Chain A
Amino acid sequence: MKRIVNLAVTAMVMFIFISTVTAGGKQEAPAGGTEKVVTVDYTNFSGSGGNAKFLEQMKETFEKQNTGIRIKIKTVDFGNYFIQLQTKIASGSAPDSYELNYENFITYAKKNVLMDLGPLFKKSNFDTSMLNKNALNAFRADGKQYGLPESYSTVLLFYNKDLFDKAGASYPADDWKWADEQRAAEKIRALGKNIFGISHPIQFWEFYKVVQQNAGSLLSKDGTKFTVDTPQNVETLQFMVDRVLKSNVMPSEKQMAGMGDWDMFKSGRLGMIVTGIWAFNDFTKDCKFNWDIAVEPGNLNKATHFFANGLVINKDSKVAGAAFEWVKFMSASKEAARIRVDAGWELPASTYPEVMADYNSKTPPANRKAVFESLNYLVTPPVVEQMSEMTDILNLQLQAARDGDKTPAQALADAQKELEKKIKLK
């Protein structure tokens, strides 16, 4: 028996030994024998699907400029991205550099797994002036710059011009308020049983912004208390829900019947839709009618939202310097910005005037300047470590109100109670 145990133990040790040896093969032989080439791992989700070739283009351009650095790209689709990333980080084999969307950024920054880029900024005299300020600030946490903005998308009001003409409604204007939007939506709704005025999803990423259009907020100013169930927030949710249940200018879940609101818009059955600029390529391809965009109307205030992707470096990366060069290139170089704009692949976080001029000259939509105007009214979501848990708690209650199973007041009171119980604030 003892020998068997010995045999088993030896085999196990060998197995572990072999697996560590094969896993740890990071060092590479110097290329050409003159310069030592370092390899930087880069894991991302935004290059999945049709965008892989553009990412490859960026990599090639970068490697031409930096002969000593090789980039090893690993692309994982968004659905599996965070599971893989989490497993890698927990097992100590995190990639040197990777992509994080804003919603997950805070969680990762607070878990202390990201490198503070501040010292690297100084060391390489990195000039941040060509980066969009809002986007740059989005990737700060606790006073430290943990990430560089890579790309962003703003959320706007898209509208079907043909339906507006048919209904005799005037097009959305900059001075529009909720009431103006509602009036137009009602006129369009009157066009037919299956034609709806607007789709403005009742979910967290809209709600946190819409409450601010009505001078409310989800968190107290100092970020220590939830203020979800205040009277003006109840009023806001009531306004959103009434569009579904009362005036029915917005389709209910049942009226949507499992169809997405993009598809409804594209099929010409929706007058307005609040969604992101990542819809541009799709709408240009599929819409058989005239459409344009405008900055979303507000009520007491104007407030808009954007989604941003950022680039971060693993805290324990052994090639942080090289990884920073890559991240900097992706974030702030003119070459990367140009590739992004030409591909119509979100907006680069950098603001080179001539690249942006190219972006603006493309149509539809004709009113492309609204994309940048909307940045003037940007509000950011509450910053909480338990971000996705908080979003899910609120979404559950918002859906209950949307489907008419709870009154807005009840739904928000329940949300407030559960958030207080489960989400730790500062």
Chain B
Amino acid sequence: MQSELQRDKLKTIMFFLFPSILGLLLFSIIPIIASFLLSLSKWDGLTRWNFKAGVPNIVGFGNFKEILTDAEFWKVLGHTLYFIVLYIPLILFSSLLVANLLNNDFKGIVAYRVFYFLPVLTSWVAGALVWKWVLSPLYGPLNEMLRFIGIKGPGWLQDAAWAMPGIVLASIWKDMGFFGLIFLGALQGINIEYIEAAKIDGATWWQRLMKITLPIISPAIFFVVVICIINSFQLFPQIMIMTEGGSAGPHGATQVMVERIYKYAFKYFKMGYAAAYSWLLFVIIFGFTTLQMKLQKKWVHYDE
């Protein structure tokens, strides 16, 4: 009787879930399985599959071996790490700052909150084009400002060493509002009594920040760091628009993993190689995220 009832319930659930499960199957699960099979093969992306004729040609883990032994992969990984090292501290600092500014109560605060969120809603295509101009060494406002304070600005996107920092700046502008909003939510969740109690006990502003505010919002910080690292590995639109002159940056200084995957799959006709590349990307992201999950015990505080 009980199981009959449960079965009926399950049926209803399945009925309603069916449309989204179908979508998940067709557009996620099946492609994931297919991409894994592809990663074990050599396929040019044009020839029709015909297993009897050996299309695609199964080569086992050959693609993975080829990628990992090619200097290019490590160079590309280095570019991503360069991005992360610059991006994570800057985005944490700037979005915390924004959150703090927006956590005030004055006239028009809602308008400010909207303004900071606007870049998030802006399409990367438009944003990246504007940033290309901002970063132009001769005509851009950024170098103009630097000149004003006596600094000779670099060639940003035209200079191999400065192209990635240029990309970082644009990414900060784009993402600051989103992560600022998350931090704002966390800040507003802090019970004001904690702060007041600390004030009465004579804690300085710095002590309150380090001992109360940051620990309380540490779950939000953790979330932001995890998302940021995942996003960093998947860096793509800003690279393609800002530094795409056929080769991603001044002699390839902004080549990153997703950009490579795209090139290998759709420009070089190496679908299997590209699929293997994307599985490596998955492994790396999975690894980093697991590591962070482990490390969080050391610094993330959850309310009991």
Most buried by B among A8, A15, A252, A386: A8
> How many Å from the CB of B11 to the closest CB on chain A?
6
Cα–Cα, bound, A11→B21 (Å):
12
Decide if A403 touches B247 in the complex (CB within 8 Å): no
Decide yes or no: A258 and B160 within 8 Å by CB, A113-B47, A396-B247 being known contacts. Answer: no
Decide if B44 touches A111 in the complex (CB within 8 Å): yes
> How many Å from the CB of A317 to the closest CB on chain B?
14
> How many Å from the CB of B37 to the closest CB on chain A?
14
Decide if B139 touches A259 in the complex (CB within 8 Å): yes
Q: Is B215 at the interface (CB under 8 A from chain A)?
A: no
Decide yes or no: A258 and B47 within 8 Å by CB, A1-B7, A388-B267, A405-B251 being known contacts. Answer: no
> How many Å from the CB of A107 to the closest CB on chain B?
7
Decide if B247 touches A399 in the complex (CB within 8 Å): yes
Cα–Cα, bound, A389→B45 (Å):
15
Cα–Cα, bound, A112→B269 (Å):
13
Candidates B22, B133, B246; contact of A392 at CB < 8 Å: B246
Decide if B158 touches A258 in the complex (CB within 8 Å): yes
Q: Is B165 at the interface (CB under 8 A from chain A)?
A: no
- Which chain A residues (334-393) contact chain B, with CB distance < 8 Å? 386, 388-389, 391-392
Decide if B251 touches A4 in the complex (CB within 8 Å): no
Most buried by A among B11, B15, B268: B268
Candidates A1, A12, A92, A254; contact of B155 at CB < 8 Å: A254
Candidates A12, A111, A396; contact of B22 at CB < 8 Å: A12
Q: Is A166 at the interface (CB under 8 A from chain B)?
A: no
Contact partners of B21 in chain A: CB under 8 A: 8
Decide if B139 touches A8 in the complex (CB within 8 Å): no
Decide if A392 touches B266 in the complex (CB within 8 Å): no
Contact with A along B109-151 (1 / 0, CB 8 A): 0000000000000000000000011011111100000000000
Write the chain B residue with the least CB distance to A113: B46
Cα–Cα, bound, A113→B47 (Å):
7
Decide yes or no: A389 and B155 within 8 Å by CB, A15-B22, A257-B136, A395-B247 being known contacts. Answer: no
Decide if B46 touches A86 in the complex (CB within 8 Å): yes
Cα–Cα, bound, A301→B30 (Å):
56
Decide if A395 touches B46 in the complex (CB within 8 Å): no
Write the chain A residue with the least CB distance to B139: A257
Contact partners of A8 in chain B: CB under 8 A: 14, 18, 21
Contact partners of B86 in chain A: CB under 8 A: none
Write the chain B residue with the least CB distance to A84: B266
Cα–Cα, bound, A112→B139 (Å):
49
Q: Is B157 at the interface (CB under 8 A from chain A)?
A: yes
> How many Å from the CB of B141 to the closest CB on chain A?
13
Report the count of interface residues on B (CB-CB < 8 A).
36
Candidates A89, A255, A396; contact of B251 at CB < 8 Å: A396
Candidates A1, A254, A392, A397; contact of B158 at CB < 8 Å: A254
Cα–Cα, bound, A83→B132 (Å):
25
> How many Å from the CB of A268 to the closest CB on chain B?
17
Cα–Cα, bound, A4→B8 (Å):
10
Decide if B139 touches A403 in the complex (CB within 8 Å): no
Q: Is A203 at the interface (CB under 8 A from chain B)?
A: yes
Decide if A254 touches B137 in the complex (CB within 8 Å): yes
Contact partners of A4 in chain B: CB under 8 A: 10-11, 14
Cα–Cα, bound, A259→B132 (Å):
10
Q: Is A90 at the interface (CB under 8 A from chain B)?
A: yes
Q: Is B208 at the interface (CB under 8 A from chain A)?
A: no
Contact partners of A405 in chain B: CB under 8 A: 160, 251
Q: Is A56 at the interface (CB under 8 A from chain B)?
A: no
Q: Is B272 at the interface (CB under 8 A from chain A)?
A: no
Q: Is A425 at the interface (CB under 8 A from chain B)?
A: no
Q: Is A82 at the interface (CB under 8 A from chain B)?
A: yes
Decide if A258 touches B252 in the complex (CB within 8 Å): no
- Which chain A residues (72-121) contact chain B, with CB distance < 8 Å? 82-83, 86, 89-90, 92, 107-108, 111-113
Candidates A1, A11, A111, A391; contact of B246 at CB < 8 Å: A391
Q: Is A400 at the interface (CB under 8 A from chain B)?
A: yes
Decide yes or no: A254 and B159 within 8 Å by CB, A86-B266, A389-B267, A395-B246 being known contacts. Answer: yes
Q: Is B48 at the interface (CB under 8 A from chain A)?
A: yes
Cα–Cα, bound, A15→B47 (Å):
26
Decide if A90 touches B45 in the complex (CB within 8 Å): yes
Decide if B48 touches A392 in the complex (CB within 8 Å): no
Write the chain B residue with the least CB distance to A87: B45
Q: Which 5 A-B pairs have the closest CB atoms?
A: A257-B138, A253-B158, A254-B155, A399-B251, A258-B136
List, sorted by A's number, 24 A–B pairs whose CB atoms are closer than 8 Å: A3-B11, A86-B266, A89-B46, A90-B45, A92-B48, A108-B46, A203-B246, A253-B155, A255-B138, A256-B158, A257-B138, A257-B155, A258-B132, A258-B133, A258-B137, A388-B267, A389-B267, A389-B268, A395-B246, A396-B251, A399-B247, A403-B160, A403-B251, A405-B160
Residues of B near any A CB (own CB < 8 A): 7, 10-11, 14-15, 18, 21-22, 44-48, 132-133, 135-140, 155, 157-160, 246-247, 250-252, 263, 266-269
Residues of A near any B CB (own CB < 8 A): 1, 3-4, 7-8, 11-12, 15, 82-83, 86, 89-90, 92, 107-108, 111-113, 203, 252-259, 386, 388-389, 391-392, 395-397, 399-400, 403, 405
Known: A7-B15, A256-B158. 8 other contacts (CB 8 A): A4-B14, A90-B45, A113-B46, A258-B137, A258-B140, A391-B246, A396-B247, A403-B160
